[in-house]
Structure formats: structure tokens, C-alpha cells
Structure 1
Amino acid sequence: MERFAELLDRLVFTSSRNAKLRLMGAYFRTVGDPDRGHALAALTGVLEFKEAKPGQIRGLVQARVDPVLFEWSYDYVGDLAETTALIWPAKPGANRKPEITQVVETLAETKRAHVPDLIARWLDALEPTERWALLKLITGGLRVGVSERLAKTALSEAFATDLAEIEEVWHGLSPPYRELFAWLEGRQGRPEIDTRAAFRPLMLANPLEDHELDQLDVENYRAEWKWDGIRVQLVAGGGVQRIFSRTGEEITGTFPEIADAMTFDAVLDGELLVVRQGVVASFNDLQQRLNRKTVTKELLRDYPAHVRLYDILFESAEDLRGLTFDDRRARLQAFLERTRPARMDASQLLPAAGMDDLKQLREEARRRGIEGLMLKRKDSTYVAGRPKGPWFKWKRDPLTLDAVLMYAQRGHGKRSSYFSDYTFGTWRPVTERASEEAANKSEVNGWELVPVGKAYFGFTDQELRQLDKWVRDHTVERYGPVRAVDPQLVLEVAFDAVHPSNRHKSGVAMRFPRVSRIRWDKPASEADTLENLEKLVER
């Protein structure tokens, strides 16, 4: 646990991507099996301990220390693992320090009723940083700035192996990845996986910047709408039907109607949407289907799933990724005409003779409720990752409005000491019904604030420090790690779209809200109204 704790501690305080790669690479090269494999699983979010819950940890620490002291400490620190690691009463030499493999294997075999005693014995034996690493491992919330892609990149660089090859076998392997490391170290051949059920890394696009517009040779690119759904890969053949998200997470069970339609032998790339009578619904409708463990008949009826296909990677056993985009599109069209799968169609190629046509299409995107344009070189092969040049995404300009800061919450990881998550609201007239709601709502001259969104990025580190100080100086109520503030500060919020939502009291939901500017100069009374926001709703 000591080496793993050291790795996490250094990663959380390292902002440089290259430095993170070096840290992980050194760990994977010098730590043996199976510890490094379990560490890799933890970093990539694969590990899950169903019998261990954060509530158990809270109960343990409140039994060991004054509950009031713990709550005050947790309120200040803002992170359960860090608070517990620091406040836990030390018992040096009480037990043997566990290694990461012992933790993983023992928790997998232990019933929920016995888990608290097990965790307590480990906490007694460990130093504060090791306790923190243990609790982060158990709860799964590492938050050390490492994505699955970055961890695999570290393996690629540490063992001089092509990243695309690692991606090809990744989803056919499981922790502690003994055969993966044996292959990377040259002790055995590349792992054999069931290719019929394998995820192939997706090709991604780069944002098209303004300075790149004049250099774009429009004749060599094909244009498509950038649909506002989730990117998926459909893998079918030999009686296997699997649906993967863009990160390779399997979501087949969430969309059984799509899986039922996959009676072909191919690997397809597309966008998962909700479509009713040929009309694409908002992303808010799609959210009703995401992350559902149980899919009811009502969900299937009210939010019918559909896949708009972009590309074909394999047809039967034939790998088509080396073909040009134009050739793959021709193969995709022929495939669809021959197989005619239900709930699927091909994304339309848009006519564009020059830059003026592309600009006009982009202007149309908002009126159509579409995110923007995708531009793909006609001669581009299908390459995993995000190569610069072949594919671009040209999103429509964001919407903005001025909102009033209402609540602030502590962040996580490096931000656990700052109030960095901000809930903001807009003004609406006070009604009799509204006046009977929560008494902490702000009311000024017959107007009250109603929350319309939450943002935790878009500002610089310096602005974060300024906002944090402002929150501390203007707090009026405390709710655990949340602060209600005097409604004086105006934030200019940028967002991609706004949709009707029955899940939010305001009746609307923003898409990708972020803080674009802090309006220190603007009085809160001049912030926008809910009515102004409702006018931007895409129906």
C-alpha cells in the first residue's frame, strides 16, 4: 500500500501531463504483479467493491472520534477520505500493513457486515497518506487527474508499445492484467481475445479554431451534422451483440431495443439518440435512458432509442479502417441497404462547395437544435485517438446569460479546500405558491431567485481564489459542505443549449454550463430572468 499511496499522492499534486506519465510508467515498471495490475484497475476506474460503502467509513470514524469534531473537520476539508485519514487515531504496530492486492482480494471475499471491522484494522496499521490511499481505493473516487486513456498512454510509453495495440486488447482483459504485463515485458505474445466482442478505440475530432478556417481546404472535407447524443460503437457477430460507449464501457443492457436490432456481422460507429417519428429529441430526453439498471416498458415507449451511423470499421472479418472515409461511407451505405437494421440510419452528408456554405450550415445548426458540424477529410483512414487534421468538430457559438450566485460547494482532490462548485439562479416573479417554498430563497421587490444550473469550471486558478474568498466573506447559511451566500455576485454563464426539464424546479436544464466571466461590475438586480432563459429553450 505504501508504493500505491506514494503514487497517488504525487499524482494529485502533479499538474503536468508528462510528469504524470513518468510517475505511472515508473510504477508499472518497478512494482510486480499483481499489485501493479490492481493499481492500474484502480486508476482506470475498473475496480468496484460492492460491499464497501462510504457510509460505513463515516460510521467507523464517528465511533473513534468525537462526532462533532469529525463533522467540523469534514466540513472544512470537504473530502471524506482525506478527513478520515487525518483524524483517525493512530495505533502504530496494531496490525500488518496490507498491500493493495490483499485489500482487493479480501474485500471481494468479505460479507458486508464484516467489512467495517476489516477496514478499521487496516486503518489502524497505516500512516495518514496510506489511509487516504486505502479509502480512495475502496470508495473509487481517486480524483488524481488520470483518465483511462492517460493510464494506457503511460503503459505505451513505459514499455515502448503502440497505444493502438494496447487499446485493441484492453477490453478483452481483466484485473490484475497479468497477461497484459507479460506481453508488454516481452515474456509472452500479445493476449488472445474474443474479437467478436471487442471494443475498438474510436477516432475522435479536434475543435476547429478560428485561425484554422482560412487554411481549411473545403473541397477535401465532407460535412455532417454534429448530433447531440452519445457516441457509441456497435459490435455484432457470431451471436454476440454489444454496445459500447466512447470510453469502452458496455451499455448493452441499457438499450435492449438496439441490441435486438443488431442481427448483422459488423462493427459500426455512430451516435445514440432518442428519435420520435423521425425527429431527434433533445439530449435531456436521452438522459432519461442513460445509466439505467432497469429498463421499463414505459421508458422504451416514451424514449425510443435510435443510432445515427457515421462509419463502418469491420464488415464480417474484414477490417475497413485502412480505407478512405469516402470508401468507408460507400461500404456503410451498401451495408445498410442490404441489411436494413431497425432503429438505425446513416448520418447525412451535407452539400458544401465552399466556406460560405459551411458557415451557413453552422448558422442553421442552432435553429435545428443541432450542436454544429463535423468535418472529415475524404481521404482519412480510421485512426484511433485524436489525430490532428483529419477530423474537426465545429460547434455553434455558445449561449450566455447573467445569473446570480446562490450556493457554493467544496470541490474534490486539489480543490477540496476551495468552494469551487457554484449553483446560480435567475429571477422570476414571486407567486403565492412560490412564496410558500423554501424560506431561504432570495426575494427582492417581488422577484425571487430560482436555481437554473451548476458549474465548476471556466475560471482560472486566480479567479477560483477570488471566488472562494468572496464565498467565505458572504456566507449567510451553512449546510454541511455547502454555503448559501448573499445573492450579490453575478456570473456570466455560457452553455450550449437549454431544454425543458421536469426534473428541475425551474422547468429547464442547461447543457454544459460553465462560468465564462465574473461580473464584479454588475448589480444582481440586473441579472437575467427565468423568462429570458425560457426563450432560449430548444423544443
Structure 2
Amino acid sequence: MRAFADLLDALIYTRSRNAKLKLVADYLRATPDPERGWAMAALTGDLDLPAVKPAVLRALIEARVDPVLFRMSRDFVGDTAETMSLLWPAPALPPEPAEPISVTQVVERLNTMSRSDAPAALAAMLDRMEPDERFALLKMATGSLRIGVSARLAKTALAQAFGLEVEAVEEVWHGIDPPYTALFDWAEGTGAQPTAADVPVFRSFMLAHPLEDLRVDLAEYAAEWKWDGIRIQLVHVAGQTRLYSRAGDDVTHSFPEVASAFATPGVLDGELLVRGEFQGGEAGSFNALQQRLGRKQVSARTLEDYPAFVRLYDILFDGTQDVRELPWHERRARLEAFTARLDPTRFDLSAVIEAGDFTELEGIRAGARDAAIEGVMLKRRDSPYISGRRAGLWYKWKRDPLTADCVMMYAQRGNGRRSSWYSDYTFGCWTEDGELLPVGKAYQGISDAEIAEIDRFVRQNTLNRFGPVREVEKTLVLEIAFDSIHESKRHKSGLAMRFPRIARIRTDKPAAEADTLAGLRRLVT
């Protein structure tokens, strides 16, 4: 655990991507199996210790220190693991001298224990550790490191450490369970390269660059709508079907009707959507899709009310044939033929937009306000399907955001480096009766200097405190940019914004002149 704790500590204080890659690579080369495998599982979010939940951690620390002190400290620090690691008291009797606890021992102990036995075992381990080791253990146990290392970066570091192609690592990653012994055997030359044959593994998506101010020739690029759902990869191999999200998470259980309908060997790329209640059977808004996301069990009522389907973008495998090296126009022809063999109630094609030139496409895009359209994709007609982003191949051209002037109502401390600032804001708009109702919450879009400005406002204009949340004087107007707005039964205002972010602080505008709910409802798609 000592080496892993040192690694996390170094990663937290390192901003450079290349420096982080070197830290992880050095650790992997110096650490034996299975220790490094479990560490990689923690870094990539693939480590699951179901016996340890946040409520268990709170109960452990509140049994040892004043609960009020813990909650106030947690509010200030902004991270449970860090707060616990610093507040954890020394045991009344020093523990007997013993060998240092390893990552492997932590995983094996907590994985084999029941939820009733795990808290005592976890406490005993924390008693034997230094604060930074406790931090590493708690982060690992909760599965939320939040240290500025993505799963992709960790896999890239592994590839660089042993001279592998990161795409080759990604190709077999989901077909090997932690602690990835076969993967490290291959990396060190002591074992054969793992194969993804007959295993429904995840392949990295091809991604797009923002178009920004570039104009392209439509003779070289095809245009498609960019749909507002979740990017999905459908895999059917050897009688098994899996649905993967963009991050490589297995979401098959959340969409069983889609998985059961995909029984043709191949690998497809598409957008998972639900039918809209008021869209004539077409794609509904992302707000409707949210009713399906994250559910481990889907009720019959949910399946009926929010039927899912996939709008297909591309094909990676046609049967057992890998077609990723083919140009887009050839893959498109194969995708059309493949789609014709699928259930049309569950799968359809994302249509190519017919436009004579880029100017005409600009006009078509400007008029698109369908609830499920997020923008336009531009794909080079001769582009292969390549993992990640490659300049000049695919571009995303999101539609211009909507804006509204809203009044800040509540503020909450942020997390991580923002834990000392009030940086999360709830804002609202006026009803016809002059009541202010919340319509969204945002923490993105403004600079550190602007956060400091709003933080001063919050501290000087607080009306009430509710734990980490402060209610403020309703005098500060924020211009909010958002992608779309939808009806929502979960919010008192009856509205929910999609991707709200703060465009600017409107110190020039009186709160009474902020937008109304009636005005926002006219923007509902």
C-alpha cells in the first residue's frame, strides 16, 4: 500500500500529462503481480469492493470523532477520503508489529467479507496505516479516485511502460479480469498476446474535433446529424451481446430490449435514444433518456413508457470481419446492408444530410431545433475508423446554445481544488406571480477570478445556511447557456436544462429583469 499511496500522492500534485504517464509507467514496471494489476483496476475504475459503501465510512469515522466536527471538516475539505484519513484517531493500543499491508491484501480481504464484517476489517487496516496510506485505501475502496487520471491515461501509461500500442491494450482490456495477469505476462514477454476472439470486448470509439471556424468541402466530407443521446457500441460475438458506453462501461442491463434484439454477429457504433412521447415515435429528448440511465433493473412500466432504440452511425466488424480500415463510404454501404437485417423498431440509420455546399448546410443546421438533435457531424468520406481523435477526419459542429438570464438562489462549496470556494450555483426564473423557482444548477463556464467574485458575493449576502449550501439574496443575475430545455416532473419549475453552464455574470442587470418561466417554456423542444 505504501508504493500505491506514494503514487497517488505524486499524481495529485502533478499537472503535466507526460509526467503523470511516467509516474504510472514507473510504478507498473517496479511493482510485481498481482499488486500492479489491482492498482490498475483502481486507476481505471474497474475495481469493485461492494462491501464498502459511503454510509459505512461515515459510520466508522463518526463512531471515533465528533460527528459535527467530521461534517464541518468534510464540508471544508470537500472529500470524504481525505477528511477521514486526516481525522482518523490513533488506536488506544498500538497495533502489534506486522508486515505492511499491500493493495492485494486489501482487495482480497474486502472482496471476501460480508457487508457486516467488512467495517471492522477496514477499521483494523486503517489503524495500521499512515494518513496518506489511509487516503489511498479509502479512495480505492469507494472506487472514486478523482486524482486527474482517466482510464485512458492509465492504459496509455501501461502501453508506454512496456512498448505496446495503446489500441492493442484497449482491444483486449474488457476481455481480461483484474488483476490482468495475462496482460502483464504479454507486456513482459513471458506470455502470448491475449486475443479478443469469441469475447464481446469493447473497442475504443472514433472521436471528433470541434469544427470551430473551419469550413469544409462537402465533396470530401459527409454530414450527419449529431443526436443527443448516449454514444453506444453494440457487440455480438459467439452468441453473447454487450452494450458499452463511450467510457467502456457495460450498460447491457439497463437496456435489455436493445440487447436481446441485437443477435447478428458484428460490432456497431450508434446513439442510444428513447422514443419521444410527443415526437410521433421519433427520438425523444435526453431528459426522457435519463429515465433509463443507471438502472440495474428496468421495470415493465419503464420499458413501456421509455422504449429504447439505437440510431446507427458506423460499423467496426461486419460479422467476424474487421472493417475499421475501410474508408467511411465503404463502411457506410456495409452498415446500410447490415441495418436492413435488424429489427426496425430497435435500430435505424442516422441519415446523411443532403446539402449542395457548406453554406446550405449552415442554413440547415441553424434551423435544427429538434429535441434530439445536438448538432452536425462531418466525416471525411475516405476516413478509416480510428481509435480516438485524429485531425482532419471527423468534426463535430454543435448547434449554438440557448441562453437565459437567471437569478442565483443558492450556492454550494465545490470539490477538489474548489472545495474552499462557493462554486456550484442554483439559479431560477420568475413566475407570473413574482415567485423565483429554480431551473438549473451549474459550476462550469467561468474563470477562477469570477468564482472568487461570486464567492465574495455569497459570503456577504447569505440569508440561510443548510449544511454546505447557502441561500443568498436574490440580486445577482447569471447568463446561463444551455443546449436545450425540457418539461420535467422532477423539478418544481416543471423545466430542466440540458448542459447548463455560466456564460457571464450580469452585474449590469437588475434581478427583476431576469427571464421568466413563461419565456423559458417557449424554448422547450
TM-score, reference length from structure 1: 0.92
3-state SS of paired residue (1:426) = strand
Supply the AA of the counterpart residue of 2:161.
Answer: A
Aligned residue pairs, count: 519
Q: Equivalent residue for 2:272?
A: 272
Give the one of 410, 416, 435 matched to 1:448: 435
Supply the AA of the counterpart residue of 1:257.
Answer: E
Mean Cα deviation higher: 14-23 or 289-298: 14-23
Q: Equivalent residue for 2:466?
A: 479
Q: Equivalent residue for 1:69?
A: 69
Give the one of 498, 504, 510 matched to 1:511: 498
1:67-89 per-residue CA deviation (whole Å, 9 max, x = no partner) reads: 23223222322322222111111
3-state SS of paired residue (2:451) = helix
Mean Cα deviation higher: 1-10 or 167-176: 1-10
Q: Equivalent residue for 1:309?
A: 312
Q: Equivalent residue for 1:531?
A: 518
Q: Equivalent residue for 1:436?
A: none
1:312-331 per-residue CA deviation (whole Å, 9 max, x = no partner) reads: 11112111111110011111
Identity %: 55
1:480-516 per-residue CA deviation (whole Å, 9 max, x = no partner) reads: 2222222222211111000111111111111111111
CA displacement at 1:93 relative to structure 2: 4.9
Q: Is the 8 A contact 2:229 2:272 kept in 1?
A: yes
3-state SS of paired residue (1:421) = strand
In the alignment, structure 1 residue 344 sits paired with structure 2 residue 331: no
Q: Equivalent residue for 1:116?
A: 119
Runs of 4+ in 1 over 6 A off after TM superposition: none
Q: Equivalent residue for 1:164?
A: 167
How is 1:80-95 mapped onto 2 (pairs within 5 angstroms)?
80-91=80-91, 93-94=94-95
Give the one of 421, 425, 432 matched to 2:424: 421
Mean Cα deviation higher: 88-97 or 467-476: 88-97
Q: Equivalent residue for 2:288?
A: 285
1:92-127 per-residue CA deviation (whole Å, 9 max, x = no partner) reads: 952544221111110011121222221221222112
In the alignment, structure 1 residue 333 sits paired with structure 2 residue 336: yes
3-state SS of paired residue (1:299) = helix
Q: Is the 8 A contact 1:78 1:481 kept in 2?
A: no
State the alpha-carbon separation in 2 of the partners of residues 59 and 408 from structure 1: 27
Q: Equivalent residue for 1:201?
A: 204
State the alpha-carbon separation in 2 of the partners of residues 52 and 476 from structure 1: 37
3-state SS of paired residue (1:232) = strand
Q: Is the 8 A contact 1:262 1:341 kept in 2?
A: no
Unaligned runs of 5+ in 1: 431-446
Q: Equivalent residue for 2:385?
A: 382
State the alpha-carbon separation in 1 of the partners of residues 336 and 372 from structure 2: 25
3-state SS of paired residue (2:449) = helix
CA displacement at 1:338 relative to structure 2: 4.4
State the alpha-carbon separation in 1 of the partners of residues 341 and 146 from structure 2: 47
State the alpha-carbon separation in 1 of the partners of residues 237 and 87 from structure 2: 54
3-state SS of paired residue (1:298) = helix
Mean Cα deviation higher: 339-348 or 163-172: 339-348
How is 1:102-251 mapped onto 2 (pairs within 5 angstroms)?
102-210=105-213, 212-213=214-215, 216-251=216-251
Unaligned runs of 5+ in 2: none
1:422-463 per-residue CA deviation (whole Å, 9 max, x = no partner) reads: 111112244xxxxxxxxxxxxxxxx22211111121112222
State the alpha-carbon separation in 2 of the partners of residues 249 and 233 from structure 1: 10
State the alpha-carbon separation in 2 of the partners of residues 15 and 462 from structure 1: 20
3-state SS of paired residue (2:366) = helix
Supply the AA of the counterpart residue of 1:94.
Answer: P
Q: Equivalent residue for 1:4?
A: 4
Give the one of 502, 511, 514 matched to 2:489: 502
State the alpha-carbon separation in 1 of the partners of residues 522 and 16 from structure 2: 42
State the alpha-carbon separation in 1 of the partners of residues 494 and 242 from structure 2: 35
State the alpha-carbon separation in 2 of the partners of residues 80 and 340 from structure 1: 47
Mean Cα deviation higher: 356-365 or 376-385: 356-365
1:25-78 per-residue CA deviation (whole Å, 9 max, x = no partner) reads: 222222222121111111111112211122222222222122232232223223
CA displacement at 1:531 relative to structure 2: 1.6
User: Would the alpha carbon gap of residues 465 and 23 (structure 1) be closer, same or farther in structure 2, given more than 3 Å must change?
Assistant: farther
Give the one of 394, 399, 417 matched to 2:397: 394
Q: Equivalent residue for 1:434?
A: none
1:240-294 per-residue CA deviation (whole Å, 9 max, x = no partner) reads: 1211111221111211211221121111111111125541111111111111111
User: Would the alpha carbon gap of residues 19 and 419 (structure 1) be closer, same or farther in structure 2, given more than 3 Å must change?
Assistant: farther
State the alpha-carbon separation in 1 of the partners of residues 404 and 471 from structure 2: 21
TM-score, reference length from structure 2: 0.95
In the alignment, structure 1 residue 366 sits paired with structure 2 residue 369: yes
Supply the AA of the counterpart residue of 1:495.
Answer: F
In the alignment, structure 1 residue 323 sits paired with structure 2 residue 326: yes
1:388-435 per-residue CA deviation (whole Å, 9 max, x = no partner) reads: 1111110111111111222222222222222222111112244xxxxx
State the alpha-carbon separation in 2 of the partners of residues 292 and 337 from structure 1: 30
3-state SS of paired residue (2:465) = strand
CA displacement at 1:159 relative to structure 2: 2.1
Mean Cα deviation higher: 52-61 or 38-47: 52-61
CA displacement at 1:466 relative to structure 2: 2.6
State the alpha-carbon separation in 2 of the partners of residues 367 and 251 from structure 1: 26
Aligned-CA RMSD value: 1.8
How is 1:405-416 mapped onto 2 (pairs within 5 angstroms)?
405-416=408-419
State the alpha-carbon separation in 1 of the partners of residues 176 and 2 from structure 2: 26
Supply the AA of the counterpart residue of 1:313.
Answer: L
Q: Equivalent residue for 1:443?
A: none
Q: Equivalent residue for 1:46?
A: 46
Q: Is the 8 A contact 1:12 1:413 kept in 2?
A: no
User: Would the alpha carbon gap of residues 186 and 473 (structure 1) be closer, same or farther in structure 2, given more than 3 Å must change?
Assistant: farther
Supply the AA of the counterpart residue of 2:245.
Answer: S
Mean Cα deviation higher: 326-335 or 10-19: 10-19
3-state SS of paired residue (2:368) = helix
CA displacement at 1:202 relative to structure 2: 1.1
User: Would the alpha carbon gap of residues 62 and 358 (structure 1) be closer, same or farther in structure 2, given more than 3 Å must change?
Assistant: same
Q: Equivalent residue for 1:444?
A: none
Supply the AA of the counterpart residue of 1:36.
Answer: R
User: Would the alpha carbon gap of residues 201 and 187 (structure 1) be closer, same or farther in structure 2, given more than 3 Å must change?
Assistant: same
